[in-house]
A and B are shown apart, each in its own frame.
Chain A
Amino acid sequence: MVRRGRTGPIRVLIAKPGLDGHDRGAKVVARALRDAGMEVIYAGLRQTPEEVVRAALEEDVDLIGLSILSGAHMALFPKILALLKAEKAGNIPVFAGGIIPDEDARRLKKAGIKAIFGPGTTLQEIVTTAQRLARGAA
């Protein structure tokens, strides 16, 4: 199987699964990753887990970033991880941002979300983590 050569820019999918309608945060993060030289596929609002996974595979991304504010993360994130695994794409790292209580964050990390960013995270921290995760992708 051909793997992405490391010659091209990092490709990252930014998506908002579920029903919340506020995507300012996701857009700011998309912009920051763009300015860090990444190709950001912005999938936008109200994505089902199936749509997120399909976009990630078609776009052959190195990394997936999920933004969520609605509180549905405990239902949607594990579903996305399971779908990725079912597609033999469990090696694509997933990070998340939004309003996620600490206890949930712990459980989600255990379930396989690589990093979770809450309010107050600096953009630099997100960029650095995204670069590290993308480099580590198999």
Chain B
Amino acid sequence: MTGSTRLPLLAKAIVDGDRRALARTISAVEDGDPSVASVVRALYPRTGRAPVIGLTGPLGVGKSSLLSVLIGGLRERGKTVGVVAVDPSSPFSGGSVLGDRIRLERKANDDGVFFRSMASRGESGGIAASTREVARLLDAAGFDVVFVETVGSGQVDVAIRGVASTSVLVLVPHLGDEVQTLKAGLFEIADVFCINKADLPGADLAAKDLSDLVTLGAARDGWAPPIVPTSTTTPSGIDELWTAIVAHERFLDQSGQRTERERARLRIEIAERVKDRVGREVAERLTQDPELRRLLDRVVARTLDPASAAEELFRTRYAAQ
């Protein structure tokens, strides 16, 4: 670990294991505080080391309980774990109740686990806008494994794939017939399927429906997502679940797909950041800049259509630069 002396003070504190510095930096990142941009920048070269395991699935399937048991197993093996667990924000008050901590069981004063709850703050897709950056901070802080638990996800909540190296889709028996497994979206992003509460009747059928899906072609790029039944009450299947996750991580390395997926993710991230920035700027200029206001006037007067206006604006203001 060379060069840590050249890091900004706060970045160095995070790398050196100062949990309070980490917690405060996470808050600043969540709030979009520009004063930590230099910290985030300095820590970026130290990211990309820990596997980032996404746990997603509908509400109530047992993601938090599963996470607690997985953490217990990893701690027994001496692995350190950083967690960011997302719950929804109210569209009305902006407030939220973040309850994923309740399930967390750990030994008192165990510095090997850092658990952070996060509100989605208006973002759809299952995670918050800052979740990716916070997962990176946990990675840079040196945790061996990083977990991201999504909000209870619906069929289109697939944003976790932009953050996690391995996405685990947690399901339970009786969530619907096999047609549900054919639908696009959530079922397509799973690297590992987990059927939790497998002590309940119907688990075999759920596993069978999924295995049909996998053999029919959910297997992408040479990886057939394994289906692991688990129960957190017994508990059972937890070691098997972790083994499946590790197998996928190994597959990413051996097939070269880790780099490929990372590259695709980062390409999208950069494009999204530019889109956000330019979008904000254009919206502002359409109210401030007299010339652009005239352009808007023409669209309002129906003498120009929005697509042509956007094309004209892009061509004259951005493409040329």
Indicate whether B282 reaches chain A with its CB closer than 8 angstroms: no
Decide if B108 is an interface residue (CB 8 Å cutoff): yes
> What is the size category of the interface that chain A forms with chain B?
35 or more
Please state if A9 and B33 are interface contacts (CB–CB under 8 Å). no
Chain A residue at minimal CB-CB distance from B36: A2
A8 in contact with B27 given A39-B96, A44-B102 (CB within 8 Å): yes
For chain A, residues 56 to 70, give those with C-beta under 8 angstroms from any C-beta of chain B. 57-60
**A33 at interface by CB-CB < 8 Å:** yes
Cross-chain contact B31 with A40 (CB below 8 angstroms): no
Q: Is the CB–CB distance between A40 and B93 below 8 Å?
A: no
Asked if residues B108 and A50 are in contact (CB atoms below 8 Å), the reply is yes
Partner of B99, one of A42, A54, A58: A42
Q: Which residues of B contact A31 (CB under 8 A)?
A: 97
Interface residue from B36, B39, B98, B108 paired with A40 (Cβ < 8 Å) = B98
A34-B114 in contact given A4-B27, A7-B33, A39-B119 (Cβ < 8 Å): no
Contact, CB under 8 Å: B24 / A39:
no
Contact of A123 with B by CB under 8 A? no
A33 close to B20 (CB less than 8 A): no
Per-residue CB contact flags for chain A residues 12-38 toward chain B (1 = under 8 Å, else 0) read 000000000000000000110111111
Determine whether A104 belongs to the interface, using a CB cutoff of 8 Å to chain B. Answer: no
In the assembled complex, which residues on chain B have CB atoms less than 8 Å from the CB atom of A39? 89, 95-96, 98, 119
Of listed A11, A30, A39, residue having the most chain B CB within 10 A: A39
Contact between B95 and A37 (Cβ–Cβ < 8 Å)?
yes
Whether, in the assembled complex, A1 has its beta carbon less than 8 Å from a beta carbon of chain B, the answer is yes
Flag B87-117 by CB within 8 Å of A: 1 or 0 each: 0011011111111011000001100001111
Decide: A41 and B98 in contact? CB cutoff 8 A. Answer: yes
Q: Quick check: is A101 within 8 A (CB to CB) of the other chain?
A: no
Q: Encode contact with B along A61-93: 1 for CB under 8 Å, 0 otherwise.
A: 000000000000000000000000001110000
Chain B hits for A55, CB < 8 A: 101, 115
B30 at the interface (CB under 8 A from A): yes
User: Measured between C-beta atoms, what is the minimum distance from A25 to chain B in Å?
Assistant: 15
- With both beta carbons as reference points, the residue of chain B lying nearest to A8 in the complex is identified as B31
Q: Is the CB of A5 within 8 A of B95?
A: no
Closest CB of chain A to B162's CB: distance in Å? Answer: 22
Question: Closest approach, in angstroms, between the C-beta of B38 and any C-beta of chain A?
Answer: 11
CB distance from B155 to the nearest CB of A (A): 26
Instruction: Return the chain A residue nearest B106 by Cβ.
Output: A51
Chain B positions 67 through 105: 1 when the CB is less than 8 Å from some CB of chain A, otherwise 0 = 000000000000000000000011011111111011000
Chain B residues lying within 8 Å of A30, measured Cβ to Cβ, are 97
**Nearest Cβ on chain A to B216's Cβ, whole angstroms:** 42
Question: In whole angstroms, how far apart are the Cα atoms of A8 and B24 in the complex?
Answer: 13
Please, how many angstroms separate the alpha-carbon atoms of A89 and B94 in the complex? 27
A34 close to B96 (CB less than 8 A): yes
Q: Are B24 and A3 in contact (CB under 8 A)?
A: yes
> Would you give the shortest CB distance from B183 to chain A, in whole angstroms?
32
Give complex CA distance A41, B27 in Å: 14
Cross-chain pairs A/B with CB under 8 angstroms, 27 sampled: A2-B25, A2-B27, A2-B39, A4-B31, A5-B28, A7-B31, A7-B33, A9-B94, A9-B95, A9-B119, A30-B97, A34-B93, A35-B93, A36-B93, A37-B90, A37-B94, A40-B95, A40-B97, A42-B99, A42-B102, A44-B101, A50-B108, A55-B115, A57-B19, A58-B19, A59-B101, A87-B20
